[in-house]
A and B are shown apart, each in its own frame.
Chain A
């Protein structure tokens, strides 16, 4: 998948038809929640890839599948050509140094019984940093980098505000100097003014530490601000991929168009014609056949191929892909 401007960069992560289903029992029958249902994607070194979608689209599950937080998954997840799900536990430990996660709920992601210092230090302990002095230096340095005074290291998570807690989470993710970070709704739980601080911080750290981000969010305005390329998901499938400017200038998939039009604009004089979708988002335990969006699609009503066959991602202009039979 070539993208103009990025083709020189190497592919850091390659996802090949990745599927993640969750089993649950419905009486005697075993059903599946098809959280991620066949995703093929490349993430390039140095980019911030946005992953956007609503409840049930599978974006969080995809992020966690990449990090091998589940025991099994179908398809291939290749991090720098290494198959993540085939690594031995020792190799996996080494791989984990390079892939980290920042959580949505800053407080919930911090162990309430450990001090800030201990929380940030923990990853170093897992990866064989035996010298306490060395660890201390590394922790203090990263704390300063994210805007925390090293002196507060002896305090507990609940003593801090949401924004500061998230800084701790970021420090912990960065202490091992990873290459790739999944930001799972990293600013969604923060107040607007704090959001801005943290987004700026993430941008700055990306430059300083040469990071690649997978930025998961349901908020398109935030995504637009930080991402280079954007992937739109719906019910476990990718429906559109495009560089940021192209996606907003020329959204092709009907779901993408509806998503963009649904965002309230903070300007009372700009009134957009809003596309309001009918009905609720179907459950991933029972997704529609063929194109997952077809029951709510306002562009194709009753067309046979939409219900029968899942559309594949096709490139409609350089770097811009859409999964739709009629776009």
Chain B
């Protein structure tokens, strides 16, 4: 039985504005097993990023606020910790995060080396000399050539791919148990993306870090992840092993998503597209969020929100029509 390292239960993060309350994360539950790469897939506005920001409690507040749920790291509820404890023990230490835009995540006024040394000295209590050596070792580990030279360079003199490697080095330097990667390769060229994804896999194998990989690219999910969670409008609509999600998608949204991507491998005249648009988060419908756009929608779907039901031990879906019966 796989061992859970991180578990999110019924997480709720809402955004309060003059236009109303946007339930960006609405009772989301999933778990991350030790040593696995978990993919969180969805389109913009589905809540995948906000969920991960909530784990580290760095949601912009106001207007956002975590209003309910539990986040268990190895059994300990992070939402019960004080700000100071989050900052000193958890962030950058036990849970790290890398972002989409490496340029804006790195401080342009400090050298790469200085930024790398900071968490080492802070969390691992190293002295300057030791931190410098470790920083150079990390740079080498993430595949940056001539790390001693790069150590004294500024972020702007590096390419996107290299900056992302620096980010990864910074995230991993304290050997965190969990790494959250939020669209880490979206802004990179495809050949550079290939390099970074290889790197992440290698580091997972060598260091044993468990990774949450947030992306909208289903190809990346198929290549990198062991399991995946599909999100729509603030909820998890399907969860399963990557094989289950791709080969036996049960939720109509998952199916729609898979059908609408152009694939290298087959010919299509017209791409399938999911009709309609995503509802506004401040004005969600009463029943299933996907009802208006769903081909299999029934009356029941409009009246109540479906609960999550199990198809197999690893495969869950939130749909009244799940389980094959009812969906062709």
Residues of A participating in the B interface, judged by any CB pair closer than 8 Å: 54-55, 161, 163, 191-197, 199-200, 203, 218-222, 224-225, 248, 258-270, 274, 276-277, 279-281
Residues in A with CB closer than 8 Å to B104 are: none
Q: Which 3 pairs across A and B sit closest by C-beta, in order of nearness? A: A264-B219, A54-B189, A225-B262
- Stretch from B52-60, B83-91, B253-261 that touches the partner: B253-261
Chain A minimum-CB-distance residue to B275? A197
What is the bound-complex CA distance between A193 and B274, given in angstroms? 6
The total of chain B residues at the interface (CB under 8 A) is: 45
Residue of A whose beta carbon sits closest to that of B199: A276
**How far, in whole Å, are A185 and B287 apart by their CA atoms in the complex?**
37
- Asked, given contacts A263-B219, A264-B219, A281-B159, whether A193 binds B246 with beta carbons under 8 Å apart, the answer is no
Which residue of B220, B271, B272 has the most chain A CB atoms within 10 A of its CB atom?
Answer: B271
Of the candidates B44, B194, B258, the one having the most CB atoms from chain A within 10 angstroms of its own CB is: B194
Q: Which of A191, A194, A196, A266 contacts B272 (CB 8 A)?
A: A196
| Cβ B271 vs Cβ A225 within 8 A | yes
Given A195-B260, A199-B271, A280-B161: A163 touches B277 (CB 8 Å cut-off): yes
Could you jot down 20 A-B contacts, CB within 8 Å?
Answer: A161-B277, A163-B277, A192-B216, A192-B257, A192-B260, A200-B270, A221-B262, A221-B263, A224-B262, A224-B264, A225-B262, A262-B193, A262-B194, A264-B222, A265-B219, A265-B265, A267-B222, A267-B265, A269-B243, A277-B191
User: A264-B223, A276-B195 are contacts. A54–B261 as well, Cβ < 8 Å?
Assistant: no
A191, A220, A269, A274: which contacts B264 (Cβ < 8 A)? A220
Looking at A193, A195, A196, which has the most chain B CB atoms within 10 Å of its CB?
A193
The count of A-to-B residue pairs whose CB atoms sit within 8 angstroms is 121
A267 touches B273 (CB 8 A): no
- Is B218 an interface residue, CB under 8 A from the partner? yes
> Which listed residue (A161, A197, A259, A268) contacts B190, Cβ 8 A?
A259
Q: When the two chains form their complex, are residues B189 and A263 in contact, meaning their CB atoms are under 8 A apart?
A: no
User: A248: which B residues are within 8 A, CB to CB?
Assistant: 264
In contact, A258 and B219 (Cβ under 8 angstroms)? no
Q: With A193-B274, A265-B223, A280-B161 as known contacts, state yes or no: A222 contacts B191, CB within 8 Å.
A: no
